[in-house]
Amino acid sequence: MRDAIVIGSGISGMVTAIKLAEAGVHVLLASPFPSERSQSVMAAGGINAVMSRHEEGDSVSAHIEDTLKGGCYLAGEEAVKGLCESAEEIIEYLEGIGVVFSVDEAGRPARRAVGGHSYRRTCYCGSSTGKQIVSALVMEARRLEAAGLIKRALGKCFHSALIKDGVCYGALFFDEAFGNISAEYTDVVVVATGGQNALFGKTTGSTQCDGYTAGELFMQGVELKNLEFVQFHPTTIETSQKRMLVSEAARGEGGRLFYMDNGERVYFMEEKYGPKGNLMPRDIVSREIYSAGKDVFLDVSFLKDSDIESRLPEVRDLCKKYIGIDIAKEPIPVAPSVHFFMGGIAVHKNHETNIRDLFAVGECASMYHGANRLGGNSLLAAVHSGMIAAREIAGRDTKEDRPDFSSAAEEANRMLDKMKDTKSVFPVMYIRDMASETMNKSMGIIRSEESINEGIKDIDYYLSVAERLSYDNSVLPYFNYSLTGILTLARAALSCAESRKESRGAHYRSDHPDTLDDYAAATVISYENGQYKVRFDKENEYES
Ligand SMILES: Cc1cc2nc3c(=O)[nH]c(=O)nc-3n(C[C@H](O)[C@H](O)[C@H](O)COP(=O)(O)OP(=O)(O)OC[C@H]3O[C@@H](n4cnc5c(N)ncnc54)[C@H](O)[C@@H]3O)c2cc1C
């Protein structure tokens, strides 16, 4: 294998690039912004691993079972087994490149409790785990950059993949510095572009991760999976731009949820689910908060000041900065918000898509989390998937012939120029806002046939508007050309939600509240001649 392009430079993209470069592959690591601004830096809670250094009853098989159970048995058993079995090695790799984990009295990585886990197994670096992992990976990437193996290219936004006869040969990128679209050829493309936040507007995630890549690839023939499973995090606070996460660590350290009734605190999670009620899986806590129909608060004020200082410093700073609350003295007003996408690009166990030489890793790929993700498992999956993909790719042959796609780049530039000649009557961002409002209403915490069909009607209308849309010169060209891909992804998600006539994990249908054996399979969706085709992957074809 001679070269590869990795699109997206969060944790999964960087791990892929580093491992490929270490195997001698030349990598173009492309993203609009530096890694230090990727969503990965926001991860606060930690990364899961059962370490042989820790005895206390936990085991890798318990981690596997918790992950499968949390995902309502939709995630592939083999894939989850590989994920959990690799966790200890991943922690050791991260320690080896300079990630400093918080330690317990015995000097071993300390672990905190996180919802849905039967043991404390979430390793953390204070409350800045993601930041520390990104920093260490950036240093590794720089070392390989100096060796001429990684080229980091900033200001590059994915436009489309170069695919011929079911094989990928590269990608078109919009270059923010030059304002044009150019073709990059390669042996293998790895997509590592994160979640699909633009579908829901204000979420806890990064606005950089808008889902466009998944939507565009879908239109180009790539299959997507499990799009109906969108995780709502139960404890977020409202700010003007986005929702900010109050880390699960706050409940892991003993935080209690309550609402007020007749002047009395009602600890509704503990009343319904017992002493561990506050740490129930995220979908259950989110639904309970939503169904309570009252203002809900999270209380950590009974913890010792020193514990808040050492274990929850970022939660303390966040609440002080954004809502002026001192968590050592007052409860935090919280509400659920979209936080993570279990669904995404369908990949085989080696992380290749249904298009040869096109891979997907990290949050943009759907593999390990089934119907719901356990906290701490996505950082693990980001590192693990990058390692798996790199191992597979490094062993592949270099492509002898590469078809010429220069006409595709010319056509894309012509489209961009044509858009620039006219002014839009519909501002692009207005349509994006309307679409996200639709998605929040139709595919929120609780959905129904009626709400989903309303959503489909609205998104189909926005798609028809987008087709007639001309250039909105008040926003970057990227926002113009990405609109159709984002709307198509939204439409595909609604089709998945419509097809799954049951409730499972993060997908709750008020008209079909039960979990049914008939639907015990992943949802796979493809796009054929403008039609959205959903099937249930009962044969587990994506497990091979
Ligand atoms: C607030 C918050 C807290 C979290 N805490 C935890 C936690 O404690 N533990 C845990 O396990 N998980 C946590 N998660 C989830 C976890 O952080 C993510 O799933 C993980 O970091 C995703 O990594 P990634 O490499 O897949 O993507 P990201 O880190 O999101 O990186 C995506 C990259 O793709 C680039 N990109 C996007 N679109 C394009 C495009 N069109 N063209 C080119 N490049 C593009 C971006 O610029 C970026 O470089 C948290 C998430 C949030 C939002």
Determine the pLDDT at residue 397. 87
Q: What is the reported pLDDT for 310?
A: 85
Angle at 164 between CA 160 and CA 166, to 5 degrees: 100
- Residue 161 Cβ contacting ligand 1 at under 6 Å: no
Instruction: Please tell me the distance between residue 286's alpha carbon and the centre of ligand 1 in angstroms.
Output: 21
- Which of 31-35, 143-147, 282-286, 367-371 shows the lowest mean pLDDT across its residues? 282-286
Over residues 456-462, the mean pLDDT reads: 97
| Average of per-residue pLDDT across 165-191 | 95
Q: Residue 134: pLDDT above 90?
A: yes
- Give the number of the atom of ligand 1 that is nearest the alpha carbon of residue 35: 49
Q: Model confidence at 364, in pLDDT bands (50, 70, 90)?
A: very high
> Is the pLDDT at 319 greater than 90, yes or no?
yes
Per the CB < 8 A criterion, the answer to whether 404 and 101 are in contact is no
Task: For residues 160 and 105, give the distance between their C-alpha atoms in angstroms, rounded to a whole number.
Answer: 51
Q: Residue 501 above 80 pLDDT?
A: yes
Give dist(CA 540, CA 523) in Å, integer: 10
pLDDT in tens, 322-351: 999 999 999 999 999 999 999 999 999 999
Q: Is 282 a catalytic residue?
A: yes
Question: What pLDDT is attached to residue 422?
Answer: 62
Question: Is there a contact between 218 and 489 (Cβ–Cβ < 8 Å)?
Answer: yes
Element containing residue 138 per DSSP (H, E) = helix 129-146
Determine the average pLDDT of the residues in 98-122. Answer: 89
Cβ(362) to ligand 1 under 6 A? yes
- Closest ligand 1 atom to 212 CA: 41
Q: Where are the beta strands (DSSP E) in 219-368?
A: 224-225, 230-238, 243-245, 256-261, 264-266, 296-299, 332-341, 344-346, 358-360, 365-366
480 lines ligand 1 (CB under 6 A): no
Is this structure's pTM higher than 0.75? yes
What is the length of the chain?
544
Looking at residue 421, its pLDDT comes to 65
- The average pLDDT across 289-304 equals 95
With a 6 A CB cut-off, is 208 part of the ligand 1 pocket? yes
Per-residue confidence (pLDDT) for residue 470, from 0 to 100: 65
Q: Write the residue with the smallest CA distance to atom 14 of ligand 1.
A: 43
Residue 227: closest CA among 526, 448, 539, 460: 526
What is the rounded CA–CA span in Å between residue 265 and residue 234? Answer: 18
Read off the pLDDT of residues 205-248 as tens digits, 9 standing for 90 and up. 998 999 999 999 999 999 999 999 999 999 999 888 889 999 88
> Torsion angle, CA of 20/365/124/127, rounded to 10 degrees?
110
Place of tokens 């995090």: 233
Q: Which residue type, as a one-letter code, is found at position 516?
A: L
**Residue 525: CB within 6 Å of ligand 1?**
no
Quickly state the pLDDT bin for 108 (edges 50, 70, 90).
confident
pLDDT computed for residue 101 by the predictor = 95
The pLDDT assigned to 427 comes to 79
Question: What's the average model confidence in pLDDT over 510-530?
Answer: 96
Catalytic residue among 111, 243, 251, 282: 282
Q: Closest Cα to residue 80, out of 55, 57, 62, 56? A: 62
- In order of start, what are the domains of the chain with their CATH numbers? 231-339 (3.90.700.10)
Q: Locate the DSSP E strands across 397-508.
A: none
Q: Is 13 in the pocket of ligand 1 (CB under 6 A)?
A: yes
Residue nearest to atom 8 of ligand 1 (CA): 45
Rounded Cα distance, 184 and 499, in Å = 38
- For the cut 70, the answer to whether the pLDDT of residue 200 exceeds it is yes
pLDDT at 149: 98
pLDDT at residue 282, rounded to an integer: 84
Average pLDDT for residues 473-500, to the nearest whole number? Answer: 92
- In our burial notation (b when 16+ CB lie closer than 10 A, e otherwise), range 512-532 reads beeeeeebeebbbbbbeeeeb
Residue 167, exposed/middle/buried by CB under 10 A (0-12, 13-18, 19+)? middle
Q: What is the pLDDT of residues 381-411, one digit of tens each?
A: 999 999 999 999 998 988 888 898 989 999 9
Count of alpha carbons within 13 Å of 67, Cβ hemisphere only? 31
Burial 498-510 (b: 16+ CB within 10 A, else e): bbbebbbbbbbbe
Confidence at residue 424, expressed as pLDDT on a 0 to 100 scale:
61
- Whether 194 has a pLDDT exceeding 70, the answer reads yes
Average pLDDT of span 132-140: 98
Residue nearest to atom 3 of ligand 1 (CA): 43
- Tell which one of 176, 181, 209 to mutate to probe ligand 1, the residue whose CB is within 8 A of the most ligand atoms: 209
Mean pLDDT of the chain: 93
Q: Is the CB of 40 under 6 A from ligand 1?
A: yes
**Res 472: pLDDT:** 66
Taking CA atoms, 526 is separated from 188, 198, 364, 386, in Å, by: 22, 21, 16, 25
| DSSP state string for 238-257 | E-SSSEEE--THHHHTT-EE
